Amino acid sequence: MKRLLTIIFSLTAVLMLQAQIRGNSVVVTVEPDHADWHYKTGEKVNFTVEVRQEGTLLKNVAIDYAMGPEMYQDIRKSVTLKDGSLKLQGTMAKPGFYRLDVTAHVNGVDYRGACGAAFNPEKLQPSTVMPEDFEQYWQQAIQEARKTDLNPTKRLLPERCTKDVNVYEVSFNNERWGSRTYGILCVPVREGKYPALLRVPGAGVRPYGGDVYTASQGVITLEIGIHGIPVTMEQGVYDNLANGALQGYWEFNMDNRDKHYYHHVIMGCIRAMDYIEQYTPWNGQKAGVTGSSQGGFLTLVTAGLDKRITCYAPVHAALCDHTNSLKGAACGWPHYFYNNVKIKKNKNVKIQELDNAKIETSRYYDGVNFARLIDEGQKGWFSFGYNDDVVPPTSAWATYNIVKGPKEIKPYQATWHFWHQEQWDTWEAWLLKELKSTTATKLADRLQTLQQKGYMAGHQDDPFYGIGWAYEDGKSDVKLTVGDYPAVMGFELGGIEMGDEKNLDSVPFTRIHDELLAHVKRGGIVTISWHPRNPLTGGTAWDVTSNQVVKSILPGGVMADKFKLWMMRVADFIESLKDEAGQPVPIIFRPWHENNGSWFWWGQKLCSDSEFKALWNLLQDYMNARGFSNLLWSYSPNLDGGWTLERFMQRYPGNDRVTLIGEDAYQWGTEQDFVSALNSDLTFLAKFAKDNGKLLAMTECGFKNTPDPTWFSRVLKPQMDQYPICYFLLWRNYEKEWFGPVPGTPSGKDYAKAFKNAPNVLFLKDIEQ
């Protein structure tokens, strides 16, 4: 309910918390005989008209109806529904919408119903022509506007802020000095870089509340007005303007492309994106724009002119295909030339003198022509209603069809010029998915999809060395054992913080860089761990001689600056991990693992629960501030055997900070103890992961030197088979200490027996994209 009220407030600015008047006791239904309302040209649509009161069919009801091509219904009759029902039929010879409007008269009150049947709408094309200098004209206008400094203002609105979102009224210069655009900016409180969403308004003059809900989901939102006036004044101010100076503003200067009212409106949208880029913590990667009706038009405008936009969602977009009415076909609001031409006996008849200047100018303000500029790097979501008599679906479909980039369409046939709650929810979910879709979220989706096939085999340091070999290109103990690389490879960054050339296991960082990217290029999954040295004592990660280490590196601590430098070095290395196209590669990042033990300086007895969480947040917030969207964060405690929800939550960083729950599980003692503890842990962790929407993995595991030659097939695999893990990662094979398969040994052969041909175990070839 809180979310719904937030949404309504952002649209209407003021909402009284009281019962709402919705719907009527009398309902007119106009039902086609195809569930999707779609027909092929030449096919007949059969309508059924009924009038019901409180669900009961009414008889002897007088109705008026009009039917025919949308906006040009030429069959008009009045009849009485003696038995409460009426059957009507229509067809179209060419693509378009055949509309039946019905008005029922019950007890002196009129009630409306309608149905717009679609005939091959996917073949509809707009009639408007793009002027040769269209794109050049608008790009020059943008360049000219940018000669004026934004000169922004920003005022906190504390009464609208929440614990997660700061809300401001902002303003900035538009196309010239003194021409201002005002809006409501909502920014997540937590420090970091975020995607951004520009909300552009429907027609009218009103105040705005800002999109607090979307901002609470980790997206910067800017909701702008278009009239150059503050957006937080009393409602009466806007009412007076709407009925006075701004009445019919959409028709101001229709014959002059430079003075047209929407000229400064369009510039305001682009300048709003300039503001987002320059004055907010935008991540520079994901930006969306959305709006309905007039806002749908401005959505197309902004996406077409501004390639910073990566996703856009126009809902029943107005101001599209203005000149379609000149050939007697439906056009979008505000139906500029609808009264110039009427259809009489299937012929277009001019009934008013045409204003060529207005027609030519309209082409520069037609959503269709802006839609033609949208490219392959921008993804769109279109939605509208087939009963809409303000923005007819003819123009909506034609606009959609002209877009060349990736797009989706989601019509809600029965809606008029409004949307259903389900439509809003789908719309909002799509925007959040696209805006928050990152390299990391795509990796999470991939892991989730692959888990439906089984779980992936992994190995730490797999391409660097094995038993009896080191640094031989293409070599791998797993590959030598089963004929394929592991699907998951683990890499270690310990030592990078010191500026060393090699990690704590003596692997050159240049080699880590190259092998990690090589595995990604092959289609594999990579995971990174980091065992930093002890920043307080100078010892290794295993130096647990002081319980003040974590405290010393938190903000204000004596080693805070030193540790910030360490984080910078880790981030610099991660930043270098890019594919051949220059894009960051997806990485499972697994810091501060096994924190429930006490063998690392960040362990259970070495810092408090609050200090550990602060340590996690410190690193994660730094990485987020650096703009990384390719890190999938894994929280990986050690084998415990006695988890309770209360104990687990003591150090758990939080659902908004973790995507994958890991288990580091080695057999150090008896088989019975290991199996008992592992089943106890995985039972708990599997339920926790399911309840909280997290992935689950065995992020480290093994049995040192595998003294039991049947351990893989008899102990490890049967346990893992019982739980929804997405991968398991055996620790490294190094000289006299190994955890993965050793080719040619009994345990190596057992590994092949357990995993090579198992249908639920995935190696590299099983996951290649």
**700 catalytic residue (yes or no):** yes
User: Three-state SS for 31?
Assistant: strand
Sorting pLDDT into bands at 50, 70 and 90, what band is 18?
very low
Contact 479, 748 (CB under 8 A): no
Give the rounded percent of residues in the chain with a pLDDT score beyond 90. 91
**594 catalytic residue (yes or no):** yes
Q: What average pLDDT does range 184-210 have in this prediction?
A: 96
Going by DSSP bridges, is the β-strand pair 220-224/282-292 parallel, antiparallel, or unpaired?
unpaired
433-486 pLDDT tens trace: 999 988 999 999 999 999 999 999 999 999 999 999 999 999 999 999 999 999
Residue with tokens 């609050």: 610
CA-based nearest residue to 195, from 308, 314, 315, 299: 308
pTM listed for this prediction: 0.79
Is the pLDDT score of 226 beyond 70? yes
> Domain extents for the chain?
26-123, 134-430, 439-669+677-702+719-734
User: How confident is the model at residue 355, as a pLDDT?
Assistant: 87
Q: Which of 171, 216, 293, 713 is catalytic?
A: 293
Contact 41, 95 (CB under 8 A): yes
CA separation for the pair 769, 103 (Å, rounded): 56
CA-based nearest residue to 289, from 303, 279, 268, 275: 303
Is the pLDDT score of 733 beyond 90? yes
CA separation for the pair 207, 11 (Å, rounded): 9
Number of neighbours of residue 182 by Cβ within 10 angstroms: 23
327-380 pLDDT tens trace: 889 999 999 998 876 655 455 555 566 789 999 999 999 999 999 999 999 999
**Secondary-structure class of domain 26-123 per CATH:** mainly beta
Ranges of beta strands (E only) in 26-158 are 26-31, 38-39, 44-53, 56-57, 61-69, 75-81, 85-91, 96-106, 109-119, 153-156
**580 catalytic residue (yes or no):** no
Q: Which of 70, 211, 594, 663 is catalytic?
A: 594
Q: Which of 255, 355, 417, 437 is catalytic?
A: 417
Residue with tokens 């050049």: 136
491-504 pLDDT tens trace: 999 999 999 999 99
CA separation for the pair 166, 190 (Å, rounded): 10
Q: Which of 700, 713, 747, 750 is catalytic?
A: 700
CA separation for the pair 379, 600 (Å, rounded): 46
CATH number of this structure's domain 134-430, picked from the four choices 3.40.50.720, 1.10.10.10, 3.40.50.1820, 3.40.50.300: 3.40.50.1820
CA separation for the pair 214, 188 (Å, rounded): 9
Give phi and psi for 25, each to the nearest 5: -75, -25
Fold classified for 439-669+677-702+719-734 = TIM Barrel (3.20.20)
CA distances from 705 to 668, 673, 687, 740 (A): 11, 18, 32, 8
Assess whether the region 26-123 and the region 439-669+677-702+719-734 belong to the same CATH fold: no
**293 catalytic residue (yes or no):** yes
Number of neighbours of residue 100 by Cβ within 10 angstroms: 24
User: How confident is the model at residue 266, as a pLDDT?
Assistant: 98
Contact 91, 44 (CB under 8 A): yes
CA separation for the pair 730, 247 (Å, rounded): 71
Q: How many helices (H) and strands (E) does the chain have?
A: 22, 33
Ranges of beta strands (E only) in 543-676 are 587-591, 631-635, 660-666
What per-residue string of b and e applies to 721-734 under the rule 16 or more CB within 10 Å gives b?
A: eebebbbbbbbbbb
Q: Which of 101, 175, 274, 388 is catalytic?
A: 388
Average pLDDT score over the chain:
94
Q: What average pLDDT does range 383-406 have in this prediction?
A: 96
DSSP structure string for 263-287: HHHHHHHHHHHHHHHHHS-EEEEEE
- Residues in the chain, overall count: 769
Sorting pLDDT into bands at 50, 70 and 90, what band is 8?
very low
